[in-house]
Structure 1
Amino acid sequence: MKIQILSALQQLEKQYNIRILLASETGSRSWGFPSPDSDYDVRFIYCHPLDWYLSIDEKKDTIEQLVGELDLVGWDLRKSLRLMRKSNAALFERLQSPIVYRQEPQFREELLVLAGEYFSCRAGLHHYLSMAFRYRQICEESSEVRLKDYFYLLRTCLASLWIVEKRSVPPMEFRELLPLIRDKALQATLLELVALKARVDERYVHPRNPQLDSYVKEIMGYCEGRAADVSKYEGSIAPLNQFFQKIASADGAAKTPEPI
C-alpha cells in the first residue's frame, strides 16, 4: 500500500502542479487502533509555485481524492499556517502522526517547532470535548455499539482530559493516553479492546461496557467543568508569515522529498 500511496502523491503533484511538503497518516491507523479493513487516511500539506499566490482572486486551497481504501486530503501551505494560528487540532495531528509517507527535508521538524507557539488549550479542549459529546450520543443509542465509535469516544475523551491536566497538545497514539486512567483494570480492558479491534472489521458491534460508560461520563463532566479555567491563546502572525515566505519562494527542484 505504501507504494500505491507514494504513486498517488506523485500523480497529484503532476496533476495540480504542486510540491507536497508533508504527507502523513491520520485516523485509526495513526491513533493505534486500526481494523484490518480500515481506510488509509492520507493527509498532506502542499505548496504551489510562487506565482499562484500573487493574485487578487481567492483560489481553492484544498485537494481531495478518494480511490478505493485510499482517502487523500491536502491543504495548501497558506491555509495550513492560517489553521495553525487558530490552533486547529486536525493540523496538529497531521504534524504529530507516527506514520509519515514523505516530507521535504526538515519541513515537519521546523513546523513542529513553530507549532509549539500556537497551541491553544481552550481551542483544543473545545474540539475534543465537542467530538466526545457527539460520539457519546451515538454510542448511547443502543446496548451495542460499533467498536470504531467506542474508540473514537474514548480517544476524544482522554485527549480532553490530557489538555485539562497537562495543558499541552495531546499525543496522537491511544496507548500514550492510557496512563491518564488510574484504574489498572480499566486500562487492561481497553488494551483487550485494542487487540480485538485489530481482528474485526469496521462494522463489528460490541456490547457497551458499563464501567467504561461510567468512566467516560465522569471524565467528560470533569473536563466540561474545568473548561473555563483553560487558557485561550493566539500566537503572532509574523513567524508564520516568515515561514510561508521561506517555503513558497524556495526552488522546488532543489529539494527532493524524502520517502519515509
Structure 2
Amino acid sequence: MTETLATLDIDIDIDLAPVVAEQPDELLFATVSGAHLYGFPSRDSDVDLRGVHLLPTAELIGLREPEETRSRMWDRDGVELDLVTHDLRKFVRLMLRRNGYVLEQLLSPLVVHTTDAHRELAALAPGVLTRHHAHHYRGFAATQWRLFQKTGELKPLLYTFRVLLTGIHLMRSGEVQAHLPTLAGETDAPAYLPDLVAAKAEHEHGAADVDHARVESDVERLHGVLDEAQALSALADAPAAYDALHDLVVRVRLTGVDGFEG
C-alpha cells in the first residue's frame, strides 16, 4: 500500500506529491531532509528530498551497471529542489555501515511519500544502531567545523552543533534526533543556540555573529561529551538486523512496492 502526503508541517510553498509521481521507478519513500529537517531553514533554503527507489530485477542481473543512485537539482515553481534516491539494496547496505545520514532520511517525520515497505524498513532501523555511529557524527562535525573556520558562515557552525548533539543524543537514548531546536533544550547544548537558529532563518549563507573563542570552546566540550556518551552507551557493537533487512530486500524485490505486504 502506498500513501502520498501532499501537505507537510513545514513552510514549503510547493506541492511535492507530483515530484514523487514523476519518478521512473517505484519509490518506497520520499522524505524532506536538510535544513528543514534540522530545524533551521532560511527563507531561500532549497528543499532536500531523499528517498529509496526500486530498480526492476532485470536492471540488476544484466550486463549494464544499474543506476543505484539518482541525483537531480532543479527549480520548480520558484523553489529549488534537490532530489537524491538510492535503490533499496544500496540504501540498506548504507544503513548497515554506521551511516547516521541515511537513518535520518529514513526516519524523517517530514514524509512526502510512504509505503508499507518504508514502515517496515523504519521499524528495523533500531537493529542497525551501534555505538560506532558516534564516529559518523564526530567526523561530520569535524568537517563542518573546518568549513566554519574557513568561511565564518553560520550554516556550517549550526551543522557542527547539530551533528554533535545528534550523536550525543543517539549514544544516550538510542534515538535518532536531527532537529536542532529540540536538541537545543538538552543539558549539554549551549544556551545561545536558539539565537543562532533565529539568525539563520534570515540568510542561508550569512556570517556568524559569534564569539569565536566561546563557540570553539563549546565545540571542543561537546566532542568530549560525545566521547563519554559513546563509552557509556548501551548500544550494540554490531548491527543485529542484517538477516531481517536481507529478507525485506528480497521480498520487496520479488513483489514490487505496490504488491508488498509487511
In structure 1, C-alpha distance between the alignment counterparts of 2:220 and 2:109, rounded to whole Å: 29
In structure 2, C-alpha distance between the alignment counterparts of 1:228 and 1:88, rounded to whole Å: 19
Change (3 A) 1:42 1:240: same
Residue 136 of structure 1, CA deviation: 1.9
Is 1:220 equivalent to 2:223 in the alignment? yes
In structure 2, C-alpha distance between the alignment counterparts of 1:96 and 1:158, rounded to whole Å: 17
In structure 2, C-alpha distance between the alignment counterparts of 1:120 and 1:56, rounded to whole Å: 36
**Correspondence for 1:174 among 174, 180, 184:** 180
State TM-score, norm by structure 1: 0.82
Residue 137 of structure 1, CA deviation: 2.2
Tell whether the 8 Å contact from 1:128 to 1:157 is kept in structure 2 after alignment: yes
Tell whether the 8 Å contact from 2:30 to 2:49 is kept in structure 1 after alignment: yes
* Matched residue, 2:5: none
Instruction: Specify which structure has the higher proportion of helix.
Output: 1
Is 1:201 equivalent to 2:203 in the alignment? yes
* Matched residue, 1:19: 26
In structure 1, C-alpha distance between the alignment counterparts of 2:177 and 2:185, rounded to whole Å: 12
* Matched residue, 2:134: 125
* Matched residue, 2:74: 67
Once the two structures are superposed, the pairs formed by residues 45-84 of structure 1 within 5 Å of their partners are: 45-55=52-62, 58-68=65-75, 69-84=80-95
Residue 22 of structure 1, CA deviation: 0.2
Deviates more, 1:110-119 or 1:246-255: 246-255
Tell whether the 8 Å contact from 1:40 to 1:70 is kept in structure 2 after alignment: yes
Residue 226 of structure 1, CA deviation: 6.2
Unpaired runs of at least 5, structure 2: 1-12
Change (3 A) 1:140 1:208: farther
| Partner deviation per Cα, 1:168-225 (whole Å, 9 max, x = no partner) | 2430211222233357xx43x2112222222x12121122234333221112134346
* Matched residue, 2:9: none
In structure 2, C-alpha distance between the alignment counterparts of 1:86 and 1:73, rounded to whole Å: 19
Structure 1 SS opposite 2:174: coil
Tell whether the 8 Å contact from 1:121 to 1:168 is kept in structure 2 after alignment: no
In structure 2, C-alpha distance between the alignment counterparts of 1:160 and 1:236, rounded to whole Å: 21
**Correspondence for 2:144 among 135, 159, 163:** 135
Structure 2 SS opposite 1:48: coil
RMSD: 2.4
Structure 1 SS opposite 2:216: helix
Is 1:115 equivalent to 2:117 in the alignment? no
Residue 238 of structure 1, CA deviation: 1.9
Structure 2 SS opposite 1:12: coil
Is 1:88 equivalent to 2:133 in the alignment? no
For this pair of structures, how many residues does the alignment match?
241
What residue identity is the alignment partner of 2:130? Answer: S
What residue identity is the alignment partner of 2:88? Answer: L
Residue 254 of structure 1, CA deviation: 5.2
**Correspondence for 1:238 among 224, 240, 243:** 243
**Correspondence for 2:110 among 95, 99, 102:** 99
Residue 103 of structure 1, CA deviation: 1.5
The percentage of counterpart residues that share the same residue type is: 24
